[in-house]
Structure 1
Amino acid sequence: MKKQYKSKWVKALLAVFFVFGIGATVFIFSRETNEKDEKNKDVTKVKTIVEPNRESLAQKNILDSLTTLKLAYDAAILEKTALAQQLEIERKNIENLMEIISASKNPSVEQIQVYRRQFSDMKASLASKGIEVSKLKSQNKNLLNEIENQNVVMYKQKAENDTLISKQKKLESTLKDASKLTLNNFKVVALREKKSGKELETDKAKNAEKFKISFSVNGNPVAKTGKKVYYIQVLDQKNTVLGENKLIEFGNDKALVYSFIVGFDFQGKATNVYGILNSDENPFQKGTYFVNFFDKQEIMGSSTITLE
């Protein structure tokens, strides 16, 4: 009886150890499996971080290509052709597309295809514009050469015109000098008149009744004929202008105060001219008088007379 009871107890104990062993085995196997799964997940995450997907790589490649394309547009714009404004608009479109692509997170395959088509269109447009830019550059170069050639011709023509103008001015100056009248033999004498009417020269202030002022005009066949006018200015010891004492302006900021005017008809031959300055109510005083002869504002000569 005791032996039978002991055998049952041993069987029960073995059954407990068997169940415990199976449980331990299942627990260890399950733990190893979970650890492997966790390791696989970690490896997948690392690969995901280290290795971007195809769409992300395509997105980066498109951005790099757009950057290169933008630089090409920058260079084309610097050529400053008639297409510069259009090129600037297309460059702005590239910049806008780059901003859109950069802001896109995890783009889909369809989005990448759209970006590629847009990039392709922009690249083709630049190629087309590049041909036009080259043509315009060639045209501009030809135009610049033509302008330069025209400038050379115009410079030569201007030089010839300047030479002709200079010669004409010299000729006009020569003709003006040649046609100009010259005065000489400037003379002034004091006169007194006898009862008979005869006039005699005097150097006495108390006897002087008038000044006879004379000069000669040289003959000149190329000078313009007609009426000529000269202005006579007589100054006393106090530098006072005697006679009419009138002011005349010549319109070029020049003016003259004169004593009287001498006019005559010039016909190309030498002529002697004179004028009279009367003492009137103001007798001549002792001292030296200065007489100046003017052709308008230009002084032609001078003379003096001294009365005792």
Structure 2
Amino acid sequence: MKWFKPLFAIIFVLGAGAAVLVFSNETDNNENEAKAKEDNIVNIISSESKETSEKKNILDSLNTLKTAYDEAILEKTALSKELELERKNVENLMAIIKVSNNPSAEQIKIYRNQLSDLNSSLESRVQEIKKLKSQNKNLLTEIESQNVVMYQQKAENDTLLLKQKKLESTLKDASKLYLSNFKAIALREKSSGTELETTKAKNTKKLKISFTVNGNAVAKTGKRVFYIQVLDQKNTVLGDNKLIEFGNDKALVYSFIVSADFQGKSLSAYGVLNADQFKKGTYFVNYFDKQEIMGSTSVTLE
């Protein structure tokens, strides 16, 4: 059959072309899948690098802020004790951020809000110090101007000194509330129902978070609400884990709320965090009056 050989040649050519086309499509598909995987890995690394960079920037800012508090404390004004307390808040926040691994975008936002609050607090304190120094300088100028007639003007100088002391006292007794005596303890429960302090994670049934609201005669009285934030080793907010917004892009994720009836005098307050199981490690506790951090503490379970 003369037509057989040409027909066979045509079939062979068509088969070879189809094989090349299939191989080419498979190769393109494999290359596309490999590129997609590579792009995904790059995106993940880029995201982690961004959060890590954000964490470093916040730590650098906090370190600068701590240095500023150190300098302000060296002024030795009537606000030194308050400045030392706020510097401790900066140090505690730095410790929390340093132990955090791969913080999420939400955690970075919380850290930035806390950094902003601490910056605002320092700016306010610096203005108060400047005002106090300026007023003190004016008073000293008045006193020096009266030195020529010291005997006749002694009574007036004594009055100026009393005004200075009253001014310092007024600044110290500002309407803002302060918290102290921050404490977090783990509790276990005996069969009798008695609760005892423990350091063992496996025995822990709850965390008792306590603090003191310092007395302040000029502060507003009535019901005051404080927000407690408890973070585990992974920087996860335990408890209610609720988000509250305060306006001006200020927000807070908290574990539970503690209410106190403040009547101008010092009072103790506490709250309890229950959990099915507590793991070994350190738990960090932050205390907030609205969006402003008032203090921090921690408890370690073995």
Q: What TM-score does the superposition give when structure 1 sets the normalisation length?
A: 0.42
RCO higher in structure (CA 8 A, sep ≥6): 2
Q: Which has the larger radius of gyration?
A: 1
Q: What TM-score does the superposition give when structure 2 sets the normalisation length?
A: 0.43
